[in-house]
Amino acid sequence: MEIHTPTGQAEIPGDLQRALIQVLLVSEGRAVPGETLVEEMWGDSAPDNQVNALQAHVSRLRRRLRALEPERTTSRLTTHPSGYRLAVESGELDAEAFVQKVREAETLLPGHPERAAGLLRRALGMWRGPVFGHFPGGSACRLAGARYEEHRLRAMELLFDAELGAGRHAQILAELNEAHISNPLRERFCEQLMIALYRSGRQADALDAYRRMWRRLSDEIGVLPSPSLRSVEHAILSHDPELAPGGDLRIFQSA
């Protein structure tokens, strides 16, 4: 987690203060109940006077934030009947900006795959590693981290769709293979890899990727490939013209 101010990068010292601001940030402007903050900060080791302890940390964080923005006339951290709220303006939280870029790219993708690919690469370039790094926080922050990670994987899927739509199948083979290996049960990466291999004249490798995926799904979670993954295999075997550059790959995606 990093906080950037007009005068440079700022730090929030202490694990408890860091946990507090993290859970307030991932709530994206919504009030967070005090019980949730206590659980996030202390877990099973909450002090007996947890209400007073929480109020003390809130006051300390409020003073720290006020010192970072001396020109601000209202406090970012406010108390509400339902808990505490951290005001975050549009464009200030990088996670929110990332999600907005992905949504914009998804809208662009059908008619402008090159522009969508560029926007998605800029969005994915915002990532530096796991959410919150080596300080994942409590359950609320971990759930938020999982949510943002799913957005990241979706952005990668959209990026590969955009690059395939732009006819750049050969250029993304290495990236696709890495994504598939890193997420071995995510079928969409396998589908995209198969299409890219097929378009690159490697039909046997595309079918081999399908067979490996079929065995993995069967052995590890006891399921069959999805209808969309099976449809890609069938399209490769039948040399479906929609697999060629310029074809409508949306017919191979499940709803």
Residue with tokens 């339902």: 82
Note the pLDDT tens digit of each residue in 212-236.
999 999 999 999 999 999 999 999 9
Structure tokens at 29: 């402007």
Q: What is the pLDDT of residue 228?
A: 93
Q: Tens digits of per-residue pLDDT, 105-163?
A: 999 999 999 999 999 999 999 999 888 888 888 889 999 999 999 999 999 999 999 99
Reply yes or no on whether the pLDDT at 180 is more than 70. Answer: yes
pLDDT tens digits for range 86-117: 999 888 999 999 999 999 999 999 999 999 99
Question: Taking residues 33-49, what's their average pLDDT?
Answer: 91
Contacts of 144 (CB under 8 A, 6+ apart): 26, 131
To which residue do tokens 């490697």 refer?
202
Task: Say how far residue 147 (Cα) sits from the centre of its chain.
Answer: 6
Q: Could you tell me the two tokens for 149?
A: 């990670």
- pLDDT range class, residue 253, cuts 50, 70, 90: low
Between CA 99 and CA 95 the distance in angstroms is 6
- Please, which residues have CB within 8 angstroms of residue 140's CB and are 6 or more apart in sequence? 23, 26, 27, 32, 36, 39, 40
| Residue 82 binned pLDDT confidence (cut-offs 50, 70, 90) | confident
* Domains of the chain listed by start with CATH number: 3-86 (1.10.10.10), 94-252 (1.25.40.10)
User: Model confidence at 255, in pLDDT bands (50, 70, 90)?
Assistant: very low
Hunting for tokens 């490939």 — which residue is that? 225
Angle at which helices 173-182 and 139-165 pack, to 10 degrees? 150
Mean pLDDT over all residues of the chain? 92
Q: Taking the model in full, what pTM does it have?
A: 0.89
- Rounded Cα distance between 78 and 234, Å, is 58
